[in-house]
């Protein structure tokens, strides 16, 4: 193939001898890629004496069959891994010789214990796969389980030469020189005596020395800071390199199709598990000499409940689990700290509204028997519904709503809170830039990330690379790619329509349920609910039951969406793992966005907006009368919906994330209790833990981003959302830490530069939140009508009061309807009150007016004020966001200096050597002493040195 051929340093075993063979590795076949990704030329290679440029040309002109996908072919004959007995060292991380470190573990069932049909196939694939691993430079050792005689554990070790080779292939950055730039003192250093209690114990987790780093090259090994070869590559690096080999080692050829990768073997059942080792038990230090006990330290200073108030040891997390896990916990911790500021503002608003609820004039009018008690409201459904008095909604609506509709809320939501969101996103970019530099991911570019094996295996079409102009192989043509994308988009749209259909079904339920509750809950003969009658209103009962049903439907659809999104992404066949995760992220979030937020958007912006008036009500599907809001608005229902979904989601997620793995591990340990008194080795202890799914971290991100959406998009209706989110996240950090440290096998370390596609998603939510909160305040709450009444309609020329006041607002906000104008289909069956008119929530002219039941001047004033409010608030907030984004740089100045310094050192240390070699080899040619062969040889040597 012309696109990707990987070269490995091959060790072919012949008894006790190792014959070293030279292999070239190319990321593509272009001339400059040969220059950039040449591996090593070993002594016994037949191409050792050829210059680099000739090698590139030679491999470019080879026939396609000669270098198909893997440069490592299947072994000529199977390799039988040596089997040893357990050496009774349960904490050991080494082979039985105590020298070779275990970098990975493979678990399988002994073929002799299997049925005849599977025995031959599984054994052949496994033995071929293991022989391929040996051919690619790995060393293996097998041992039998001490608790189950059917199980075999295969220990994998990567020798020093193999580590060096793949460290260069994977562009792993390693230290070259101590960091000589002085760090700026912390502004909190004067409070160190207090702040030290909120940081991990420095005696247990010591601060590591800072180094300038550079991509590893074996031929320049002397320039790297190598103190001890055994610890030069961390355990996370070794596991990452081991998994890279395991995912690309071939095990079978059928015709022109080559099968490879441990993932497929796991899916087929050839291996039961594959994982790197934890270094010790989480609650007991290892007895092994020299063991770092990093898992124990993480549990004591991070995952243990007693450490919930401490800052996270991010450097140790990154060192143990890799950059991808580290960046997640860094983001989650930073998000939680920023929530604290928003929670303080929201809590102040809540307290203000709670303490001033008794002084609210319009709330008093609703609850006053002489005012609200004498206002008879029109029925809200046809025929069966009855008239009711306004004061029946006092406790259920007005006094609760006044807590959330304080005057501070109008300023808090659109300006203060959303400005905090902008600060969070901008400061996160700065903090992320610091982590990128500290964790050596600044130059982790897409071209450095190698293609997924699933992508490489299907590269059967040829095309011309638009950049290099060289032919390469891809898994689909331009037309095929268009078809795949079209099918993917069509499938996504179909499932979104299915979500909308479920929302319509819930709306129909709400209409039917409201009709039923209205005939029951306002019945004068209802004796058993007299004490709760003021709280259990038809609106409240309908809202609560509909929210519960909506939550159940959301959870069910989530299971389907996950499988659909994964199927679509697999069908699209992204090139790299980052592309795969970003594509899946966008699909899953789009599904979840519609699934979680659609019901909230309905309540906030659709319910009660197109209901007509009692004489001419609007109907859904020509049958169901549209649902009206409570006289106080739909804000209380939106709050109820948010509370149920957020609370239920948090409870269900904790059950899935914590309780289920703990119960599974408990059952597994109980089933193996017969061997509990035996010494169980480290690899078998880890096998008893749960395996984290491939998308385990993806769901953690998704959970927090959905929460971020609830906190930002609808905070105007629920200012306590940041408080609840803060409390949840404080526990979430420790729960996630406890889960991955104690209940799951060690995660295969992965490199990541940032939080990926979640960053633009957060930016999009923040932008959308400005509009949604402004519209909630303007259209869902009654803040604008109250302000219009206070400033305009309470005084001359529209009102009778001499000063601005809220007195009379309730009477002004309710229109009058003549009950004689009811149609036969909507006229109530009985009239318990001696009335000729009833009231309804709208701004329309009274009966007898020349334009009766049409919108009055108050309505148009309110509409104009709402539009003006939205425009002004959005412009203010967006301007604030723009100014903050411009003023706050994405990369701190100190980090820029360190990056420049590191690049300079890399240039000096790793490249000036070549210039010296070229200068030393230059010789005068005019003396006639050199033959033409010697001149050519000198040029070839110079090219190789380059």
Q: Is 272 helix (H, G, I), strand (E, B) or coil?
A: coil
Distance CA 320, CA 315 (A): 9
Of 6-15, 349-358, 415-424, which has the strongest mean pLDDT?
A: 415-424
455-491: pLDDT as tens digits: 767 777 777 766 666 776 777 777 777 887 788 888 8
Q: Is the peptide bond before 174 cis (omega within 30 degrees of 0)?
A: no
- The answer to whether 307 and 378 are in contact (CB under 8 A) is no
CA distance 738 to 733: 9
First-residue to last-residue Cα distance in the chain:
27
Please state the rounded mean pLDDT for residues 635-651. Answer: 81
Structure tokens, 685: 């202890």
User: Is 795 exposed, middle or buried (CB count within 10 Å of its CB: 0-12, 13-18, 19+)?
Assistant: middle
Residues 6+ apart with CB under 8 A from 775: 604, 605, 870
Nearest partner of 476 among 488, 490, 494, judged by Cα: 488
Q: What pLDDT score was predicted for residue 799?
A: 80
DSSP state letters, 461-528: EEEE-TTT--EEEESS-HHHHHHHHHHHHHHHHHHHHHHHHHHHHHHHHHHHHHHHHHHHHT-TT--T
Looking at residue 856, what is its pLDDT?
92
How would residue 346 be classed by pLDDT, with cut points 50, 70 and 90?
Answer: confident
Q: Which long-range contacts (CB under 8 A, 24 or more apart) does 601-609 make?
A: 602/503, 602/507, 603/634, 603/637, 603/638, 603/641, 603/780, 604/634, 604/638, 604/714, 604/717, 604/772, 604/775, 604/776, 604/779, 604/780, 605/775, 605/779, 605/780, 607/634, 607/637, 608/633, 608/634, 609/779
Cα–Cα distance, 301 to 683 (Å, whole number): 24
pLDDT value for 511:
76
Give per-residue pLDDT as tens, 528-545. 554 455 556 676 777 778
* Interatomic CA distance for residues 265 and 270, integer angstroms: 5
pLDDT band at 693 (very low <50, low <70, confident <90, very high): confident
HSE-CB of 910 using CA atoms within 13 angstroms: 23
869-884 burial, b at 16+ Cβ within 10 Å, e below that, comes to bbeebbebbeebbeee
Residue 78 vs residue 839, higher pLDDT: 839
Q: What is the mean pLDDT of residues 709-715?
A: 87
pLDDT band of residue 553 (cuts 50, 70, 90) is: confident
Query: Is the Cα dihedral 312, 417, 645, 602 positive or negative?
Result: negative
In this structure, of 61-65, 582-586, 722-726, the range with the lowest mean pLDDT score is 61-65
pTM above 0.75, yes or no: yes
Please give the pLDDT value at position 335.
93
Q: Is pLDDT of 407 > 90?
A: no
High-pLDDT (> 90) share of the chain, %: 17
Is 585 in contact with 764 (CB distance < 8 Å)?
Answer: no
340 CB-side CA count, 13 A: 6
CA 307 to centroid of chain Cα atoms: 24
| Out of 564-578, 604-618, 683-697, 903-917, least confident range | 903-917
Q: Average pLDDT in the 616-620 region?
A: 85
Residues whose CB falls within 8 Å of the CB of residue 908, separated by 6 or more in sequence, listed in order = none
Question: Which has more pLDDT, 556 or 632?
Answer: 556
User: Taking all residues of the chain, what is their mean pLDDT, rounded to a whole number?
Assistant: 77
Angstrom distance (rounded) from CA 273 to CA 204: 33
* pLDDT tens-digit map of 250-300: 888 776 667 788 888 888 888 999 999 999 998 888 888 878 899 999 999
pLDDT recorded at residue 765: 92
Model pLDDT, residue 925: 46
- Of residues 496 and 55, more confidence is placed in 496
Lowest mean pLDDT across 96-100, 299-303, 500-504: 500-504
Strand partners, 801: 795
Q: Higher confidence at residue 782 or residue 685?
A: 685
* Residue 505 or residue 624, greater confidence: 505
Q: What is the pLDDT of residue 738?
A: 92
pLDDT for 678 beyond 70: no
Residue 465, classified by CB atoms within 10 Å of its CB into exposed (0-12), middle (13-18) or buried (19+), is middle
To the nearest whole percent, how much of the chain has pLDDT over 70? 77
DSSP state of 222: G
- How far is residue 795's CA from residue 749's CA, in Å, rounded to a whole number? 69
Specify the pLDDT at position 832.
Answer: 75
Question: Between these two residues, 196 and 708, which has the higher pLDDT value?
Answer: 708
Cα separation, 652 vs 556, in Å, equals 12
313 vs 469 pLDDT, higher one = 313
Q: Does residue 61 register a pLDDT over 90?
A: no
Specify the pLDDT at position 651. Answer: 82
Entry field: residues in the chain: 946
More confident residue, 523 or 890: 890
Per-residue pLDDT, 30: 32
As a whole number, mean pLDDT of residues 816-824 equals 90
pLDDT tops 50 at residue 675: no
Cβ atoms of 341 and 803 closer than 8 Å: no
**Residue 314 in this model has a pLDDT that exceeds 60:** yes
Q: Which residue has the higher pLDDT, 578 or 933?
A: 578
Mean pLDDT value of segment 412-434 = 80
pLDDT of the residue at 35: 32
pLDDT digits (tens, 9 = 90+) for 136-167: 889 999 999 888 888 899 999 999 999 999 99
Question: Which pLDDT score is estimated for 159?
Answer: 93
What would the two tokens of residue 506 be?
């819930």
Parallel, antiparallel or unpaired: strands 616-617 and 619-620? unpaired
Question: Residue 256's pLDDT is what?
Answer: 66
């Amino acid at each position: 193939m012309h696109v990707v051929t990987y070269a490995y340093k091959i060790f072919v075993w012949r008894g006790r001898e190792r014959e070293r063979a030279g292999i070239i590795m190319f990321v593509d076949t272009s001339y400059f890629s040969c220059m950039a990704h040449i591996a090593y030329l070993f002594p016994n290679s037949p191409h050792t004496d050829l210059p680099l440029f000739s090698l590139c040309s030679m491999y470019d002109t080879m026939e396609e069959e000669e270098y198909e996908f893997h440069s490592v072919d299947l072994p000529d004959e199977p390799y039988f891994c040596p089997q040893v007995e357990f050496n009774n060292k349960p904490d050991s991380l080494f082979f039985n010789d105590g020298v070779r470190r275990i970098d990975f573990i493979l678990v399988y069932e002994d073929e002799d214990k299997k049925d005849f049909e599977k025995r031959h196939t599984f054994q052949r694939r496994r033995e071929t796969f293991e022989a391929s691993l040996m051919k690619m430079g790995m060393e293996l050792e097998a041992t039998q389980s001490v608790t189950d005689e059917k199980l075999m554990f295969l220990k994998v070790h990567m020798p020093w030469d193999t580590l060096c080779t793949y460290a260069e292939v994977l562009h792993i950055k390693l230290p070259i020189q101590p960091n000589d730039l002085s760090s700026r003192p912390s502004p909190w250093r004067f409070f160190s005596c207090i702040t030290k209690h909120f940081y991990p114990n420095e005696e247990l987790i010591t601060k590591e020395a800072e180094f300038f780093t550079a991509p590893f090259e074996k031929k320049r090994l002397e320039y790297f800071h190598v103190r001890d070869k055994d610890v030069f590559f961390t355990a996370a690096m070794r596991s990452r390199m081991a998994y890279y080999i395991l995912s690309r080692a071939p095990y079978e050829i059928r015709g022109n199709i080559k099968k490879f990768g441990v993932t497929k073997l796991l899916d087929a059942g050839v291996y039961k598990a594959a994982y790197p080792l934890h270094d010790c038990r989480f609650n007991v230090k290892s007895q092994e000499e020299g063991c770092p006990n990093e898992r124990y330290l993480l549990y004591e200073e991070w995952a243990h409940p007693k450490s919930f108030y401490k800052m996270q040891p991010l450097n140790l997390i990154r060192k143990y689990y890799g950059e991808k896990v580290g960046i997640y916990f860094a983001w989650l911790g930073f998000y939680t700290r920023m929530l604290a500021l928003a929670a303080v503002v929201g809590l102040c608003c809540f307290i203000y509204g709670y303490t001033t609820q008794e002084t609210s004039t319009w709330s008093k009018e609703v609850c006053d028997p002489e005012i609200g008690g004498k206002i008879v409201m029109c029925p809200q459904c046809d025929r069966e519904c009855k008239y009711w008095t306004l004061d029946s909604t006092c406790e259920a609506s007005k006094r609760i709503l006044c807590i959330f509709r304080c005057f501070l809320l109008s300023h808090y939501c659109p300006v203060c809170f959303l400005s905090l969101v902008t600060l969070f996103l901008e400061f996160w970019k700065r903090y992320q830039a610091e982590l990128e530099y500290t964790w050596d991911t600044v130059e982790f570019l897409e071209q450095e990330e190698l293609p997924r094996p699933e992508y490489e295996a299907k590269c059967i079409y040829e095309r011309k690379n638009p950049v290099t102009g060289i032919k390469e192989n891809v898994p689909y043509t331009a037309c095929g790619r268009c078809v795949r994308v079209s099918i993917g988009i069509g499938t996504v749209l179909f499932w979104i329509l299915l979500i909308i259909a479920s929302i319509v079904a819930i709306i129909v339920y709400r209409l039917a349920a409201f009709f039923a509750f209205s005939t029951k809950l306002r019945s004068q003969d209802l004796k058993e609910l007299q004490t709760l009658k003021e709280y259990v209103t038809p609106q409240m009962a309908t809202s609560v039951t509909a929210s519960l049903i909506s939550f159940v439907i959301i959870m069910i659809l989530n299971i389907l969406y996950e499988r659909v999104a994964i199927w679509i992404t697999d069908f699209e066949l992204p090139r790299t793992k980052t592309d795969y995760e970003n594509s899946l992220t966008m699909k899953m979030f789009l599904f979840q966005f519609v699934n979680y937020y659609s019901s909230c958007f309905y309540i906030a912006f659709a319910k009660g907006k197109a209901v007509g008036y009692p004489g001419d009500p609007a109907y859904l599907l020509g049958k169901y009368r549209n649902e009206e809001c409570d006289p106080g608005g739909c804000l209380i229902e939106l709050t109820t919906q948010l509370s149920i979904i957020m609370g239920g989601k948090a409870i269900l997620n904790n059950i899935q994330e914590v309780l289920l793995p703990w119960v599974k591990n408990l059952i597994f340990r109980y089933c193996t209790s017969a061997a509990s008194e035996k010494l169980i080795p480290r690899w078998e202890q880890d096998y008893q833990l749960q395996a984290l799914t491939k998308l385990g971290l993806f769901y953690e991100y998704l959970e927090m981003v959905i929460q971020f959406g609830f906190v930002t998009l609808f905070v105007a209706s629920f200012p306590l959302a940041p408080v609840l989110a803060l409390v949840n996240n404080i526990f979430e950090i420790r729960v996630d830490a406890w889960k991955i440290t104690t209940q799951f096998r060690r995660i295969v370390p992965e490199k990541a530069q940032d939080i990926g596609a979640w960053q633009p998603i957060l930016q999009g939510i923040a932008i959308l939140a400005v509009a949604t909160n402004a519209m909630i305040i303007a259209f869902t709450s009654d803040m604008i009508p109250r302000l219009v009444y206070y400033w305009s309609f309470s005084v001359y020329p529209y009102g009778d009061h001499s000063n601005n006041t809220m007195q009379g607002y309730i009477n002004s906000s309710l229109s009058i309807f003549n009950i004689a104008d009811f149609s036969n289909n909507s006229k109530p069956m009985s009239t318990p009150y001696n009335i000729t008119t009833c009231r309804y929530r709208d701004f329309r002219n009274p009966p007898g007016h020349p334009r009766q039941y049409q919108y009055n001047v108050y309505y148009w004033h309110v509409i104009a004020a709402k539009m003006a409010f939205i425009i002004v608030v959005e412009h203010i907030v967006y301007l604030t966001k723009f100014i903050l984004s411009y003023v706050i740089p994405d990369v701190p100045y100190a980090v820029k200096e360190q990056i420049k310094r590191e690049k300079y050192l890399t240039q000096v240390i790793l490249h000036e050597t070549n210039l010296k070699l070229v200068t030393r080899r230059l010789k005068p040619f005019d003396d006639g002493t050199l033959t033409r062969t010697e001149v050519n040889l000198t040029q070839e040597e110079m090219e190789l040195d380059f």
